[in-house]
Chain A
Amino acid sequence: MAKAILVDTSKCIACRGCQVACKQWHGRRAEPTRFQGSYENPLALSAQTWRRVGFIETAGGDGRLRWRFISDACKHCTDASCLAVCPTGALFRRTWGAVDLNQDICNGCRYCVAACPFGIVAFNEESGRVNKCVLCPDRVEAGLEPACVTTCPTDALTFGDRDQLLSQAKRRVAELQAKGEKGAQLYGERELSGLHQLFVLQERPQVYGLPEQPRFAVASVFPSSVTSVLASVVMGVTALVAFRGRGGKGEE
């Protein structure tokens, strides 16, 4: 049964419990930041920041000020470009939908970084490998929710069967629209054949920095000639062998 996280932006209070719960559970480090005029920080997802909350000031059609919050992380796409371009199998899909990452065999080729239509997969200069949200498979397979979901006080994040979350999201969108939230919409049902992180948005996706029509972006990663593709594969394998030679230690 496919699982997913539903992010209901209309319930988010931007306490950022999710942002830090992820850091705690996965032992991610803090990044150097500077206040640049918005509460948002760090400004982008990275190898150390797998989930973060965006703060968006916007004026709706009625001119009324809105402050929108979005807890954002890897979308675990069904058509996952990152996974498709990964030459080593480091990125792989779990039976319940998560796009997981086996650090031990990542060769640091960064095809996935270029391929991700959301700009989420990130390269870690220190370890020479990539990193992203893996949907807490250790927790999920032990019957728990992902760390970010457990810590959310307002049920802005929920975890469960994707089908059920879809109906839940649709009900919520209808509710919001009935309340006059004309921009309320569901994101992720069909995008890239279905995301495993769904969103109830209150504005158009762009307002939150989400592409209106994310593309499966494999071809844009690779050079057009088959030779170079093959070369890439060879390169990948070489890198993999070289890496295994180092003993394949964990990232940190």
Chain B
Amino acid sequence: MPGLGTSFGRGAMTNHWIDVKNADAVLIMGSNAAENHPIAFKWVLAAMERGAVLLSVDPRFSRTSALADLYAPLRSGTDIAFLGGMINHVLRNNLFQREYVGEYTNASFLLDPAFGFKDGYFTGWDPEKKTYDRATWKFQVEADGTPKQDGSLRDPHTVFQHLRRHFARYTPEMVERVCGTPKAEFLRVAEAFARTGAPGKAGTIMYAMGWTQHSKATQLIRTAAILQMLLGNIGVAGGGVNALRGLSNVQGSTDMALLFHILPGYLGMPTRKDHPTLAAYLEKETPKTGYWVNKPKFFVSLLRAWYGEAATKDNEFAYQYLPKNSANYSYMDLFEAMYAGKLKGFIVTGQNPAVSGPNSTLERKALEKLEWLVVRELFETETAAFWKGPGVDPAKVQTEVFLLPSSTHLEREGSYTNSGRWLQWKWKAADPPGDARSDGWFANQLALRLKALYAGSRAPTDRAFLALTWDYGKEEPDLEKVLAEVNGYTVADRKPVKSFAFLADDGSTACGNWIYSGVFPAEGQNRAKSRKADPPESLGINAGWAFSWPVNRRILYNRASADPRGKPWNQEKALIWWDAEAELPDGKKGKWVGVDVPDFRPDLAPDAKGGGNPFIMRPDGKGGIFAPLAEGPLPEHYEPVESPVKNLLSNVQANPMAVIYKADLDKLGDPKEFPIVATTYRLTEHQHTGSITRNLPWLVEMMPNLFCEMSRELAEEKGIRNGAPVIVRSARGEVRAIAAVTGRFKPFKLGDRVVHEVGIPWHWGFMGLAKGDSANMLTPHVGDANTRIQESKAFLVDVRKA
């Protein structure tokens, strides 16, 4: 989540589920929490019972909107315009938290005088190369290298004044014309949320895939981060920009780096170009200031954990054993490469790309080009069965497929990290049936078998794999032994380290994932098993329940919950505060104390140098209102790559840095042929590709068929009856669905133009008990400029009676 990482320092939910109850305003946008995180809604309602206002902004009136105090519709793909309008509202009416903004963010920093924004581009755009030269995207610096500041925020070169000018164009009238949100409804939401700008008030923003699946998603999340910094809502109880993650362990699997660009703990994957040696890697990847100065300790400890005795000072701690990237190997690139015949083997565990992947027709075709495919699942999924899918002749598909039966989460143990960063252990309840096994078993067995196959090889190509440490037992691996390695230990005595503060860069410590360090602080002590809950009437920190990374902190950046002098903005919701009298072990006085673990150096006084810099993972310790990303250092609205209208904010139609794939099946739709905006979403009753839920009769009973929601006006225009079959068609393909004609979708009035939108859940596929077409047959291979996550929340279709 680079939108959060760039702004605050860490790419994770800032607060946690229970903390939502401490909010004075809850803005749910880009998420449909009531439907997709139903139990979390317990805490939204708890906040409302204490007087909080619930705001729902969504293209369609959802189960979340049904409970909201205020609902505002917006056309899919225009969230930056809406949030930009809120920022403008806050700035124009001086509703921001002045002291927070001045002290805790980079608003007062002076930008290079050459930096600017014009006609939809920031300075440095190269129209030939279609990329940015970021030379001017920087601060003016003092002689010692620190940024120049103007505490009055009045200098025209301050970040603050740039922000003000940049968003001055985002007027309520502009919001209405771009988003289709009636001005009055927009203003009601903006006013209600802006009230949390008062010191001591807290507002939370809850978002999910409704924000991440856009061609400018990272900037969208940045817009929310900026709004929250202006209102002083980061680091406080009841505040935050909270990414509601959609799968039980998606936070953990990200932390564990099942992603091409990182190694566990968000250490960058080495690249051939920038990191030929360990020295080059550490030099390039380690910032000069901020907590990341410790990166060499984490990286060397990872190498030591993976390569054991083979990692020595003399061989760069086996750095050269790691693979190096030479390209972008992200999800859509992977399928493009497969479609182009560049991949031979593919191992898929617990994922169903034939349904979840955008442009699934292309992705299913790509599977036909493989030599072999391994799938591990509970049921026969569309990915495993692609060779007998609609329109496929099995005789012509040469791919060998191995489908291995998997155990369920109740038939295995291990820890899940929830969206609020809590590592919670789960115990095994029953044995799996037949030959079903866990994924831990699969990885373990595969490693042991490959080790046996390569045993004795002297080939230099096999050296790295043979050196890889692997000692977790024979069949089902000992997962607590794995967790102890993840936690880290001192090599000499193999004793667990208490936290990452004890890691070293000299090879004396080993650690599989530094951010999890502290979860296993002593022999036999697995803190993911901690089960002591706080009383319900408390703030809900629950420090004794599970283990929250990092070092059991529950609310990130909590230094910002206190004012620059160390006194909580809100005494009733105090998280940490400076106690000048508290005694330290060395006899000195003064430390941060409170109900949460300080996200700060515990003995750094508020008036000391850096004592007012709450964002410790950023090099300057300040919240990044100005923070460079691929398409600019401030967010700007661009239309989705497929859009029926012209961008009104500039002549640059779509994100100039969006990633658009160009294989023969990667077609884009002409708005004349496909004039209707479409979006995809999930339902309470199914999970993702439905590979499990579409097989469960009780869930199928509630949600048996693929449907397409549309307004009464559109239905009338097209002669479509509620409950009747329709065909939804995009440039990539078409699906058959049942019409859900509803007042919950309304046509958008953009000036004198009316734009229709439809919505389709993406849970269906051709296998299982409840079969149906996959919505992703319609979505494009178009990616966000920074993360390359697909743009499946705003694309173009046409709809007709079937």
Contact = CB atoms under 8 A, between A and B. Distances in A.
Interface of A: 11, 13-17, 19-20, 23-24, 29-39, 41-42, 57, 59, 65-69, 153-155
B41 interface: yes
B105 interface: no
A154 B700 CA distance: 24
A23 B684 CA distance: 17
Contacts of B45: 11, 154-155
Contacts of B723: 35-37
B744 A17 contact: no
B781 to A, nearest CB: 29
A39 B703 CA distance: 7
Contacts of A57: 742-744
Contacts of B349: none
A154 B42 contact: yes
A252 B740 CA distance: 36
B66 A67 contact: yes
A13 B38 contact: yes
Contacts of A14: 34, 63, 66, 684
Nearest to B34: A13
Nearest to B39: A153
A37 B63 contact: no
Most A Cβ at <10 Å: residue of B66, B697, B699, B738 = B66
A19 B702 contact: yes
Nearest to B65: A67
Contact of A13 (B67, B700, B738, B744): B67
29 contacts: A11-B67, A13-B35, A13-B66, A14-B34, A15-B38, A15-B41, A16-B684, A16-B685, A16-B702, A17-B38, A20-B698, A30-B697, A31-B701, A33-B700, A34-B705, A35-B723, A37-B707, A37-B723, A39-B683, A39-B702, A39-B703, A41-B701, A41-B704, A65-B743, A66-B66, A67-B65, A68-B66, A69-B66, A153-B42
Nearest to A31: B701
Interface string B689-712: 000000001111111110100000
A200 B350 CA distance: 43
Nearest to A22: B698
Contacts of B61: 65, 67
B702 A37 contact: no
Contacts of B64: 13
B698 A23 contact: yes
A15 B697 contact: no
A30 B684 contact: no
Contact of A41 (B67, B703, B739): B703
Contacts of A24: 698
Contacts of A42: 701
A178 to B, nearest CB: 13
The SS class assigned to the A binding surface is: loop
Contact of B704 (A13, A20, A33, A65): A33
Interface in B255-281: none
Contacts of B63: 13-15, 67, 69
B722 interface: yes
Nearest to A19: B702
Nearest to A154: B45
A153 B742 CA distance: 27
Interface of B: 34-35, 38-39, 41-42, 45, 61, 63-67, 683-685, 697-705, 707, 722-723, 738-744
Nearest to B685: A16
Given A35-B707, A41-B702, 9 more contacts: A20-B699, A23-B698, A33-B704, A35-B703, A35-B704, A37-B722, A42-B701, A153-B42, A155-B42
B44 to A, nearest CB: 9
A39 B32 CA distance: 16
B66 A30 contact: no
A59 B738 CA distance: 24
The 3 closest A-B pairs by CB, nearest first: A30-B697, A37-B723, A15-B38
Contacts of A67: 61, 63, 65-66, 744
Contacts of A69: 63, 66
A142 to B, nearest CB: 21
Contacts, number: 95
A59 B701 contact: no
Give the one of B63, B707, B722 with max A CB within 10 A.
B63
A243 B684 CA distance: 42
Contact of B697 (A29, A34, A35, A153): A29
Given A23-B698, A154-B45, A35 B705 contact: yes
Contacts of B703: 35, 39, 41
B709 to A, nearest CB: 10
A37 B739 contact: yes
Given A23-B698, A41-B703, A41-B704, A35 B38 contact: no
A31 B41 CA distance: 29
Given A67-B744, A154-B41, A30 B739 contact: no
A35 B760 CA distance: 13
A103 to B, nearest CB: 21
A157 B740 CA distance: 28
Given A35-B707, A57-B743, A67-B744, A13 B701 contact: no
A13 B41 CA distance: 8
A17 B707 CA distance: 22
A69 B34 CA distance: 13
Nearest to A58: B743
A34 B738 CA distance: 10
A14 B741 CA distance: 19
B218 to A, nearest CB: 30
A84 B296 CA distance: 80
Contact of A30 (B698, B707, B742): B698
B46 to A, nearest CB: 9
Nearest to B738: A35
Contacts of B698: 20, 23-24, 30
Most B-side CB within 10 Å, residue of A41, A66, A69:
A41
A110 B271 CA distance: 75
Nearest to A14: B63
B36 to A, nearest CB: 10
A16 B738 CA distance: 22
A15 B34 contact: yes
A103 B702 CA distance: 27
A65 B702 contact: no
Which of B45, B697, B702, B743 has the most chain A CB within a 10 Å cutoff?
Answer: B702
A14 B45 CA distance: 14
A184 to B, nearest CB: 15
A154 B684 CA distance: 15
Contacts of A154: 41-42, 45
Given A16-B685, A35-B738, A37-B722, A153 B41 contact: yes
A203 B323 CA distance: 64
A13 B707 CA distance: 20
A14 B33 CA distance: 12
B701 A15 contact: no
Nearest to A35: B705
A32 B699 CA distance: 11
Given A13-B63, A67-B61, A38 B701 contact: no
A4 to B, nearest CB: 21
Nearest to B62: A67
A39 B62 CA distance: 11
Contacts of B65: 67
Nearest to A10: B67
Contacts of B739: 37
A200 to B, nearest CB: 14
Contacts of B67: 11, 13
Contacts of B699: 20
Contacts of A68: 66
B700 A30 contact: yes
A39 B685 CA distance: 10
Contacts of A33: 700-702, 704
Nearest to A53: B702
A32 B34 CA distance: 26
Contacts of B740: 35, 37-38
